[in-house]
Structure 1
């Protein structure tokens, strides 16, 4: 969905042809990923950084993303759904040596470039799971970005009024008929390339470990002035697309955590995605074939376009670049609060995925999928205070606090990174930040709640966090405005 669309009106014939192409693509995909030349010689790591444009004084959104993007003249920047949202696509790096340091430095450089371009427009880039200073009027269709794909998607999803409702410490309710309400949220999305033959192993590992990682990274406790979940971004994002879960024989969730462990590889997930109604049935000039005229892997344009309209928290990606590869797009972590925190979050998640996907581990984790799913939403709701089900060698799963689970997994994350060739200094640097965060109990969401309880209003919290983020101070070391130290 990152590219612009050349077609905006679709007929019944377009829909029928697109569905046919999707089924053809599934067969071609199965043949393509088993080619000896398919895949990358070593794992690669990438990231997408979503951010807000906000007024530095009052934190209100500044709807100037197209102007800022043009002023920055940086090909890494693209428009996101609302006119105060931007996304930066970082340069992929090999998963060895010092990959997180590389991501950290590029994140800093990119935010600096956006800040320079945004200054004449009275805005600053701000990284957070939710911009807590938003008002209901900021989440309406008039703020949709100039790229026509967003308006087209909004219409295709069906602009039926629905109630968005999240209850936590307080409650927040908004009646909306547009997916533009998701402009309230921003993510730090991590991409990991994986071998096709072991796709199920890596994907299941990501599904298992995302709950404790989300718990320690949660950064979205306030929306429209209400204290809600530690990671309110999760239920809000899902609800803005509507409810798309059907019965046992239906296509399942279009937005959410998924319905079960993967057993048969990437084709199983792609087939599940293809059961959903196409939203943008734009067909390529030619039907899918196993190779292109130049001898490269299949383009599979229809399949790639369609999977981009299925918003699972861990999403499969087929990429035909070069000899082609598969990767997992891990979309559950929030943006911010600082480049150093995001790099540390990435090290924790990637290390755990690698270790839990190791050959000595079972392809299907020893945990009922219903427990993994429950873990994810418990972590989003309660952060480090959540109670999670966790596997235990030789016996049934046990319930433990997320705080304890994360602390116990740091060694496994280090082992996973070391096995990939990440240097010892790199591992100690970035996992050390997570260790300090766990020891202090100060996740980004915890800091925000403390500031609220100390009497700071959302605009004061915004200004304070903006100042600390500009200094790239990790969140566990942040001072709390108004608190007695």
Structure 2
């Protein structure tokens, strides 16, 4: 859920002091990158999975406070919407058979959480956007109880000075106004973390940006919002519009959006934090008591609270993370591209593909980003979000191809090799990358299955709301089977 804050209103003097401390923290961070010892000898991977809650009729259930009380596990936390929860998977090293153990542990944890949620009449669903969510659900008490979320909502609308218009064109068009950030709560993702050294950060971030398009084409799982069939991964455009602090005049002037792919390849993690400070005003100017200069001078590791909080309100699809654990600083690439679901095995397949590709791309003697413009990488990302497995993606040396051809010809061998370099066991590579291969060969990801199923239900005479509810019921059955989505059948 991000770091909590203690207030929702801030004075001008308070904001001015926050700005000073963010700039000071940036200077300290630059010094630390040059002088400090960062923890990276045993690179760790981590995962967060955002989930939805539904009732017996597969409609949103605004019950996360009750469900979390029943689960009573600190690994599960609130998210923005009262119908959202987040599951934080403990970090672990990649090598060996650990991913198979992780699959078993994640399934067991989610099954235990589901059983406890059932006691409250709720079910847990892993999906990019809950397809039965409608505008009437996002009124009244839709927001989780959290000072952070209320402050974020207030700050975004204070900055805009007007309501937000959600306008998305796909096979159908959605155009709806909103006076809160409620539509953002519809966007449920999985986040992948990789701990890296300061010297390796830039090439891993650049590699993640290159990979974002293919990653999204394979993993799209969000074709419906407010009853409309929109993009394969509608979550991408919805999240961008629902958190946009810019009225039209500022967009025209070229002011950067808070949800941002970026605009250039980087040479250091410092480039990204410097952009944060240069381009983005604060949304949550919460001050800490820490003097980062004094902490560093005393030989301690500063937490850089202001810099980290500011970073948490700039929604890059690949976000830089500075953190401190047991007094040791470390850096992570946080990959925020993928939706949640459809199954645990699908999500771990997406993870294996990501980590394998990242290793191969980052270690390439002539990196692909030296042969690919940043604009082309962003175009791939947007095309994949719109069209999923029907996208057209550009890749150096190959040209413009469909995701299936790109993955089967070029990327799968690279993912296998990257995982081999990580020391990942052969059976792990074959299990999870076999799922990616199956998805590429069939052209069926979560979004494709959802659309096929709803269309089939329409042909049987169901209207859109009933077709979406029935599709979600069938989705949940198959989600619990843990059979990969490319093997799912339609309505029987």
Q: TM-score range by the shorter chain?
A: over 0.9
Contact 1:32 1:290 in 2 (8 A): no
Which of 172, 175, 196 is matched with 2:174 structurally? 172
Equivalent residue for 1:330, pick from 335, 341, 353:
335
Q: Check the 8 A contact 2:219/2:339 in 1, yes or no.
A: yes
- Tell me how far apart the structure 1 counterparts of residues 440 and 212 of structure 2 sit (CA, whole Å): 16
Contact 2:244 2:257 in 1 (8 A): no
- Specify which of 392, 395, 410 is matched with residue 390 of structure 1: 395
| In 2: Cα distance, 1:292 partner to 1:64 partner | 44
* Pair 1:480-2:490 in alignment: yes
1:273 aligns with one of 273, 276, 283: 276
Report the Cα offset of residue 363 of structure 1: 8.1
Q: In 1, Cα distance between the equivalents of 2:444 and 2:291? A: 53
Distance 1:151 1:435, change over 3 A: same
Q: Distance in 2 between matches of 1:467 and 1:430?
A: 21
1:250, distance to aligned residue in structure 2 (A): 6.5
Pick from 298, 311, 330: which aligns with 2:302? 298
Report the counterpart of residue 416 of structure 1 in structure 2.
418
Q: 1:60 maps to which residue? A: 59
- 3-state SS of the aligned residue for 2:370? coil
1:407 alignment counterpart: 408
Tell me the SS of whatever aligns to 1:354: helix
Residue matched to 2:353: 348
TM-score (norm 2): 0.93
What does residue 74 of structure 2 align with?
75
Q: Alignment partner of 2:35: what SS?
A: coil
C-alpha contact 2:126 2:342 (8 A) present in aligned 1: yes
8 Å contact kept, 1:201–1:364: no
SS of structure 1 residue aligned to 2:133:
coil
Deviation readout 1:55-113 (Å, 9 max, x if unpaired) = 1x321011010111111110111110010000111100112113432432232123123
Does the CA contact (< 8 Å) of 1:141 and 1:178 recur in 2? no
Higher helix share: 2
Map 1:355-370 onto structure 2 (within 5 A).
355-358=360-363, 360-362=365-367, 364-370=369-375
> Residue 323 of structure 2 corresponds to which residue in structure 1?
319
1:14 and 1:141 map into 2 onto residues whose CA distance is 31
Structure 1 residue 338: Cα displacement: 0.6
Q: Which runs of 5+ in 1 are unaligned?
A: none
Q: Equivalent residue for 2:380?
A: 375
Q: CA-to-partner distance for each residue in 1:294-337, whole Å, 9 max, x for gaps?
A: 84422101001110000111100001213211101100100001
Query: Unaligned stretches of 5+ in structure 2?
Result: 459-466
CA distance in 1, matches of 2:368, 2:229: 39
Deviations 1:257-316 (A, max 9, x none): 1111112x0111001111311111111112223746984422101001110000111100
Please tell me whether residue 462 in structure 1 is matched to residue 484 in structure 2. Answer: no
Tell me the TM-score normalized by structure 1.
Answer: 0.94
- The alpha carbon displacement at 1:243 in A equals 5.3
Q: Quick check: 1:201–1:363 contact (8 Å CA) kept in 2? A: no
SS for the counterpart of 2:62 is coil
Q: Which moved more, 1:325-334 or 1:98-107?
A: 98-107
**CA distance in structure 2 between the partners assigned to 1:145 and 1:411 by the alignment:** 43
**Cα drift, residue 142 of structure 1:** 2.9
Structure 1 Cα separation of the partners of residues 355 and 93 of structure 2: 13
- Aligned alpha-carbon RMSD (Å): 1.9
Conserved? CA contact 2:38–2:331, under 8 Å: no
Q: Is the 8 A contact 1:204 1:365 kept in 2?
A: no
- Could you tell me how far apart the structure 2 residues matched to 1:417 and 1:244 are? 41
Q: How many residues align?
A: 476
